A and B are shown apart, each in its own frame.
With several copies, the nearest count.
Chain A
Amino acid sequence: MAGFDKVVSSYEAAMEGLKDGDTIIAGGFGLCGIPEGLIAEIKRKQTKELTVVSNNCGVDDFGLGILLHDRQIKKIIASYVGENALFEQQLLDGIIDVELTPQGTLAEKMRAGGAGIPGFYTATGYGTPVAEGKEVKEFDGRPYILEESITGEFAIVKAWKADRYGNLVFRHTAMNFNPMAATAGKITVAEVEEIVEPGELAPSEIHTPGIYVNRVIQGSFEKRIERVTTRK
């Protein structure tokens, strides 16, 4: 199965080719469903001037937040960055640029990027700062703004299971942005909890078909929880 075996055995191999100035599309929502080991590898590589596209930017010492320590991120496109004091400081200091994007628009921009749709109209953000500089068009009398798609040199995602062909299945709400991110990278790398043989995943239950995935690596995950809330 040489042709479609996407499994790599080291993080170096998983992120090979990443270079300064690249755009990385990252799956995850908060700290849930994030490719922990791939992020650590990017930190180890010390790649700089990155543009990161992700719903959030992690926290100070976990998730994408660790790429702030050495100022590896030049710009972030995200919907919410409120959990990160270092980010706040770098933003105020002008070290980092942020493009705040509504969450649904961000998800759709990633999907559109993977789907060959360069732009779409949405009512989201019309009449707000998000609409500044964007084309407005009316459909059925309601104004919508034009949003453009996003792609990147790399996409990094976290899945529950992958088969060797790169077919992915996500677990519970750790799915979040991962399926769209997976479609939007020129090179898409999936870090997973378990690698299985082709045929072990039911074809109709695959969330991300392997055609979108270039590399698969077995990870081990801390799975930190931001807000543990319980009932009696």
Chain B
Amino acid sequence: MALNREQIAMRVAQELQDGYYVNLGIGIPTLVANYVPQGIEVMLQSENGLLGMGPYPTEDQVDADMINAGKETVTAATGAAIFNSAESFAMIRGGHVDLTVLGAFEVDQNGNIASWMIPKKLIKGMGGAMDLVAGAQNIVVTMTHASKHGDSKLLESCTLPLTGVNCVKKIVTDLAVLEVKDGAFHLLERAPGVSVDEIISKTAGKLIVDGDVPEMQFAS
């Protein structure tokens, strides 16, 4: 069965490693923070200028001067650093963030990603997404495998304006975990109960299925 949002986040959290500096985008990526594996420490970077983002504040702690990149009130974790936005993107652009997790409208088999603009509908802007995908060595995209209408979001070539080129390494969808390399999607894992055939049918880009594809494992 297709994963729900929380389950996608749980699976992405398995990509975390001890000591990772991580930038989590808005939406499903934000939920990843709730599933950091036991025994592992990660530090969250918020691109407005905070390294070491803590939990949401209690009502008493709410402070207009302490927000995250989603403009939500947050707290600073112990050992946090706060800096200006040029410094923040210096660390992003310079490849110092170990893992970036973000959502997307489309990804293609060459690792291109479209996530910020749908022509004719309103253009809200790319915010920090283009910097994040250009700067991170390690990008995981989370999204549903196909639209509500059944159209695949894993394409041969993105149709929407791009956020970045040749940058996506891994995709976690509601149906599968895929690696992007050598101009193709490589199926690594499938959601529990989801068949390889379903994934094939919902993947428009070139998909490599090599041998048995294991089901995702979730710690109980």
Contacts and interface: CB of A to CB of B under 8 A. Distances in A.
A and B are interacting partners: yes
Interface residues of A, number: 78
Interface in B5-26: 18-21
Contact of B50 (A88, A171, A173, A228): A173
Given A100-B125, A104-B131, A229-B74, A183 B164 contact: no
Contacts of B63: 172
A104 B49 contact: no
Contacts of B92: 104, 116
Nearest to B61: A230
B83 A209 contact: yes
20 contacts: A3-B41, A29-B85, A102-B130, A103-B126, A104-B130, A104-B131, A105-B89, A107-B86, A110-B86, A113-B94, A128-B161, A171-B65, A203-B80, A203-B82, A206-B83, A210-B79, A211-B21, A211-B43, A212-B96, A231-B58
Interface of A: 1-4, 29-33, 55, 78-82, 88, 91, 98, 100, 102-105, 107-108, 110-111, 113-117, 122-130, 160, 163-165, 167, 170-180, 183, 198-199, 203-204, 206-207, 209-212, 223-232
Closest 7 CB pairs of A and B: A104-B89, A198-B79, A82-B124, A3-B41, A116-B93, A104-B131, A115-B90
Given A128-B130, A226-B67, A227-B71, 12 more contacts: A29-B48, A29-B85, A30-B71, A124-B131, A126-B165, A165-B79, A172-B63, A172-B76, A180-B84, A207-B84, A227-B73, A229-B57
